[in-house]
Structure 1
Amino acid sequence: MSTVTSPVDVPATTTTTTARRHRLADWRPEDPAFWARTGAPIARRNLLVSIFAEHVGFSVWSLWSVMVLFLGPAYGIDPAGKFLLTAVPAALGAVLRLPYTLAVARFGGRNWTIFSALMLLVPAVPMAVLIEPGVSYSTLLVLACLAGVGGGNFASSMANINLFYPDRLKGWALGLNAGGGNLGVPAVQLVGLAVLATAGAAYPRLVPAVYLPLIVLAALAAARWLDNIPGAHNEPGALREAARDRHTWIMSLLYIGTFGSFIGFGFAFGQVLLIQFGDRFATPVEAAYLTFLGPLVGSLIRPVGGALADRFGGARVTFWNFVAMALGAAGVLAAARDRSFVLYLVGFVSLFVFSGIGNGSTYKMIPAIFRARATAAGSPGTMAPAASADEVAQRWARRMSGSLIGIAGAVGASGGVLVNIAFRQSFLTTGNAEAAYVTFIGAYVVCAVVTWVVYLRPGRHRLRGV
C-alpha cells in the first residue's frame, strides 16, 4: 500500500480550481476540521468513481468465466482446455497486482486509473472481433491471458482509496471499494446470461462488446472526477522488510484459501456445473441462471466477515471459516458422487459464502497482527527520535500492514489459477472433478491448522488481539 505526506499547506479547494485542479497539493484527512470542510466530499467523489472503474476491471478479468459457456462443439475444446482458458487470466491478474499497487504512488491515482481503465480495451476489443467458430485455440488462449489486465485494477484502486480516508474510516471505505469490485464477477455473468437469453450462444463476441462503452466511460469518469495526491509515496524498503517476515507468507497462504477460492470458483463454477450436470440443462442459458448466484452472495457477504472479525477476532473467524469451507467442499464431493444436484448447488454456494466471509476476516487480521506485535515489542521500527515509542510502533505497524496487503493480494489471487488448474488436472486424469474436491478439502484443512497453530494456540508466544 502507499502512504501519504502533505508537503505543501495549501487549501485543496484552491488546487482544484486552477490548471492543476486534479492535483491535491494539501491533503490532511486526519485533521478533523479539514476533513469536515473539504476532505470528505473529495474523498467520497474519488471513492464512487474508483468503485465504478474497479467494477469494470473485475468484470473484464472475469469475462472468460462467461465466454467458456459459449464455446460449444463448433470450437472443438474439451473441458481441460476450457479450464486453462479460465486459469490464464487469473495468472496474469495475480502477477500484475503488486506493480499496480506501487504504480499509484509513482504515477498518481487519477493518472493510473485512466491508464488502467484504457488498458481494458486491449483484451476487450479483439475479443469482440475475433471470437467465432474457427478461431484457433492459441488465439483464444492469448485473448484469455490479456483479460488478466483487469485483475491488477483491484490492487491499484485499493492503494489509491487508502490515501483518501482517515484511519478511522479506511475499513469502511476499502470495504465498499472491494465489494463493489468483487460484484464485477456476478455482473459479467448476468451480462452473459442476457446475451445467451436474447442473441443465443452463437454470439459470444457481444459479451465483451457490452463492456467497450463502459471501459471508455470509466476512463472518462476518472479523467473528470479523480484527483492525484502528490505527497503519496511508496515506503522505501517496506516491501523487502515485509517479504522477510514470516507472517507475510502465512497470511498470503490464508488469502489464497479465501480470495483465491472466490475468484477461482467464480471463473470455474459455470463450466463445472455444465460438465457435472449437463443433462439437467437443455441450453447453457439454463445453467447461466444459476452460475451468478455464488459470486453474488460471496461478494455481498464480504463485509460480514469483517464485522464478525471485529467482534470475535479475525483469527478465530478465519479458523472456523476454513473448517466450514472444508465441510462445504466435502458436501460438494458427496453430491457429485451421488449425482445430487440440489446438494451440489447448496454446497458450492456455501463455498462462495465462506470464501466471502474469509475475505473479510483475513483482511482484518493483517493490521491486527502488526498492531499486536508493535504493542508487544514497543518500537520495532526506526522513526524520528521526536516520536514517542507508541507512535513509532504504530507507524511501523501501518507501514508493514500496507506492504503485507500488497504482497498477500498478489499471492492470494494466484489461488484462482490453482483452482482452475486443479479442475483441469482432475478432468484430464480421472474424467471428473472428484480429485479436485479432495485437494480443496486438504487445502482448507491445512489453512485451518496453520491459523490455529500460529494465531490461536494457547501459549506465551501467542499474539493477543489477532
Structure 2
Amino acid sequence: MTLTTPTDDVVTASASRRRSGRWIDEWHPEDEKFWAETGAKTAKRNLIWSIFAEHLGFSVWLIWSVSSAFLVASGFTFTPQQLFFLVAIPNLVGALIRIPYTLAVGKFGGRNWTMVSAALLLIPTLSFAYFVNQPETPYWAFCLIAATAGFGGGNFASSMANINFFYPARLKGAALGLNAAGGNLGVAIIQFFLPVIVGGAGIFGLVKASEGGINLERAAWVYAGLAVTAVLAAFFFMDNLSSAKSDTKAQLSVLKIKQTWVMSFLYIGTFGSFIGYSAAMPLLIKLNFWRQPVPEVVGIGVNFAFFAFAGALVGSMARPLGGHLADRFGGAKVTLISFGGMALGALGVLWTLSMLETLPPPPPPEALAAIKADPSSFVFPDAVQAAVESNQGIFPLFLGMFLLIFFFSGIGNGSTYKMIPAIFRTDAERASEPGTPEREAALLAGTKKASAAVGIIGAVGALGGFLIPITFGSPWVTDPLAATKTAFLVFLGFYVICAAVTYVVYLRKPHPAKAAVSYAGVGI
C-alpha cells in the first residue's frame, strides 16, 4: 500500500487541473517533484509538436529561396536584383510579424495559436501553387505572394515564447535550442527537397531530375498538406498554460529594458546571418558558379540545387550545440566565440571571392527563346566556358568558408537564446530573497518578460534576413560578384562590432562601483 501526503495530493490534483480547450491551470517546472512526475512528459510532448509546426513554418518561409532560382527556367524574365528582392521580402514580413505572434501566445494560448499560425500557411502555399503556373503573372504579384510566406517566419517567435514557459531554467538552453534547431532545419529540408519535388534536380544519382520540365507548384501542394497536418497535431496533442497568460501592456514593457535591445542587436548578427545567408545562398551559387540558359540545355559549372541546403543544415545542427555549450560555459562566452568564428569565415569567403572571375550575364529574353526552340544547336561561348571552369575549381574553398559562417551562426543562435531567459532570471533573483513567495512571483514575472523579449529580439534579429539578400542584390552595383565582395566586407565589420558589444556588456569585469548591475560571472 502506497501512502500519500496531503502535499502529494495537492500537487497531483493541481497538475491535472484543466479547463476546456486543453488548458493546464497549474504549472511549476522549477518544482523537482512536479517536473519528475508530470511536467517533463507534458513538456516533451508539447516540444515535439512545437518543433513540427515551427519546422513547417520555416520551410514555407524559405520556399522562395530556392524556387526563385527556378523562376527564370520556368519562363519568367526577372533580373538578379528582382530575384534577391523576392527572397528578401518573406524575411522582412517574417520579422515584422514576430512581435504580434509572440503576444498572441499570452493572449490566446500556445496550443491555440499554433493551430491558427499553421492554418495561415495555407495562404502562401496555395497562392504559390496557382500563380507559378501563370506565365503572365506580373512581378508585383509575386512580391505579394512572397510576402505572405513571411507568415512562416512568425511561427518561430510564438513557438519559442510558448516553449520557454514549459521548461525549468536549468533546461531552457537545451529545450529552446532543440525547438529552434528543429525549425531552422526546415530551411535545409525545403532547400534539399524542393529541387527534387519540382523536378529540377536529382538526389546524388538516386533520384533523377524530371524529364517533363520543372513543376514548382508540386512543392506548394506538399506543404499545404503538411500545414493541415500541423493544425490537427496541435489540436490533439498540445496544451495551453494558464501561467503563460499575460496582458499586452505587461509584455510590451520589455521594450523599455536596455538588455532587450542589446540582445536584439546581437541576434541580428547570429540569426539574421543564418536566415539571410540561407535565403541568398542558392542565388549566390547560381550567379557565380552555374550557367544553364534553359532547362533543355545541359548546364555547366556547380549546380546550385545540389548545395543550396548545405549551409542551413550546418547552421541548424549547430544550434542545439550552441545551447548546450551555453548551459555549460555561459551564453556570453559562447556568443563571443561565435562572432569571432563568423568574422574568420567572412574573411575566408572574401579570400575565395578575390579569386573568382565575373561570369557573363545570361542571354537576353529573345536569345533564350531561340535557344529553347533549338537547344541542340546551342554551344556555350568560350569565355563563358573558361570562366565557369575557373570558378568551379575554387568552389570547394568558397563552400567551406561559407559553411564555417553557418556553423558559428548556429552556435551563436543557441547561445544568445540561452542568454535571454538567464538575463531576466538574474534580474528577478536580484530583486527578491531565496525561498520566499516574492522570489517565486519574481521568477514567473521574469519568465513572462523573457518570453515577450524572445519575440521582440527575434523580430529585430530576423531583419538581418532581409538586409543580407538586399545587400547582395544592391541595385547600385551592376556586377553580382562585386556586390558580393562589398557585402561581405560590411558583414565582417558588423561581426567585429557584435563581438565587442558582447564583451563590453556581458563579459568585461565592471568597476567596483558598478558591480551590482554587472552580468559578468552569473552564467549568462
Distance 1:68 1:254 in 2: 29
Please identify runs of 4+ aligned residues in structure 1 that moved more than 6 A.
Answer: none
Matching of residues 125-136 of structure 1 within 5 Å:
125-132=126-133, 133-136=135-138
Matching of residues 267-286 of structure 1 within 5 Å:
267-279=279-291, 282=299, 286=303
Q: Is the 8 A contact 1:15 1:24 kept in 2?
A: yes
Q: Does 1:212 align with 2:214?
A: no
Q: What amino acid does structure 2 have at the position aligned with 1:188? A: I
Q: What amino acid does structure 1 have at the position aligned with 2:172? A: K
Distance 2:143 2:300 in 1: 24
Change (3 A) 1:326 1:246: same
Q: Which of 454, 468, 472 is 1:423 aligned to?
A: 472
| 2:77 paired residue number | 76
Change (3 A) 1:143 1:285: farther
Alpha-carbon distance, 1:161 to partner:
2.0
Q: What amino acid does structure 2 have at the position aligned with 1:448? A: A
Q: Which of 169, 172, 194 is 2:171 aligned to?
A: 169
Q: Is the 8 A contact 1:79 1:427 kept in 2?
A: no
Distance 2:17 2:329 in 1: 45
Q: What amino acid does structure 1 have at the position aligned with 2:270? A: T
| 1:442 paired residue number | 493
Alpha-carbon distance, 1:464 to partner:
2.0
Distance 1:188 1:262 in 2: 15
Alpha-carbon distance, 1:402 to partner:
3.1
Alpha-carbon distance, 1:430 to partner:
4.4
Change (3 A) 1:109 1:291: same
Change (3 A) 1:97 1:173: same
Alpha-carbon distance, 1:38 to partner:
3.2
Distance 1:219 1:448 in 2: 40
Question: Which deviates the most, 38-47 or 292-301?
Answer: 38-47
| 2:324 paired residue number | 307
Distance 1:202 1:285 in 2: 19
DSSP 3-state at the match of 1:409: helix
Alpha-carbon distance, 1:244 to partner:
1.9
Alpha-carbon distance, 1:317 to partner:
2.2
| 1:112 paired residue number | 113
Q: What amino acid does structure 2 have at the position aligned with 1:442? A: G
Q: Is the 8 A contact 2:335 2:416 kept in 1?
A: yes
Q: What amino acid does structure 2 have at the position aligned with 1:106? A: K
Q: Is the 8 A contact 2:472 2:480 kept in 1?
A: no
- Could you report, residue by residue, the CA deviation over 1:196-247 in whole angstroms, capped at 9, with x for unpaired residues? 2243652111121221211111111111212222343126654444222222
| 2:4 paired residue number | none
Q: What amino acid does structure 2 have at the position aligned with 1:213? A: G
Distance 2:448 2:437 in 1: 15
Q: Does 1:227 align with 2:244?
A: no
Count of aligned pairs: 451
Distance 2:153 2:395 in 1: 32
Alpha-carbon distance, 1:426 to partner:
6.3
| 1:356 paired residue number | 410
Q: Is the 8 A contact 2:98 2:455 kept in 1?
A: yes
Alpha-carbon distance, 1:134 to partner:
2.9
State which structure, 1 or 2, has the greater radius of gyration over its C-alpha atoms.
Answer: 2
Scaled by the length of structure 2, the TM-score of the pair is 0.79
RMSD of Structure 2 on Structure 1 (CA): 2.8
Unpaired runs of 5+ residues, structure 2, are 1-9, 202-208, 293-297, 357-393
Change (3 A) 1:107 1:408: same
Q: Is the 8 A contact 1:80 1:427 kept in 2?
A: no
Q: What amino acid does structure 2 have at the position aligned with 1:255? A: Y
Change (3 A) 1:393 1:23: closer
DSSP 3-state at the match of 1:301: helix
Alpha-carbon distance, 1:105 to partner:
1.9
Distance 1:191 1:106 in 2: 36
| 1:50 paired residue number | 50
DSSP 3-state at the match of 1:183: helix
Question: Which deviates the most, 329-338 or 22-31?
Answer: 22-31
Alpha-carbon distance, 1:80 to partner:
0.5
| 1:292 paired residue number | 309
- Percent identical among aligned pairs is 47
Alpha-carbon distance, 1:392 to partner:
6.8
Q: Does 1:406 align with 2:462?
A: no
Change (3 A) 1:199 1:410: same
| 2:345 paired residue number | 328
Unpaired runs of 5+ residues, structure 1, are 1-6
Q: What amino acid does structure 2 have at the position aligned with 1:69? A: A
| 1:345 paired residue number | 399
Distance 1:241 1:64 in 2: 35
| 1:194 paired residue number | 196
- Could you report, residue by residue, the CA deviation over 1:307-342 in whole angstroms, capped at 9, with x for unpaired residues? 333343322222232122122112112211202222
Distance 2:487 2:178 in 1: 32
| 1:319 paired residue number | 336
Q: What amino acid does structure 2 have at the position aligned with 1:87? A: A
Q: What amino acid does structure 1 have at the position aligned with 2:411? A: I
Q: Is the 8 A contact 2:107 2:247 kept in 1?
A: no
DSSP 3-state at the match of 2:24: coil
Change (3 A) 1:164 1:455: closer
Question: Which deviates the most, 256-265 or 191-200?
Answer: 191-200
Q: What amino acid does structure 2 have at the position aligned with 1:224? A: F
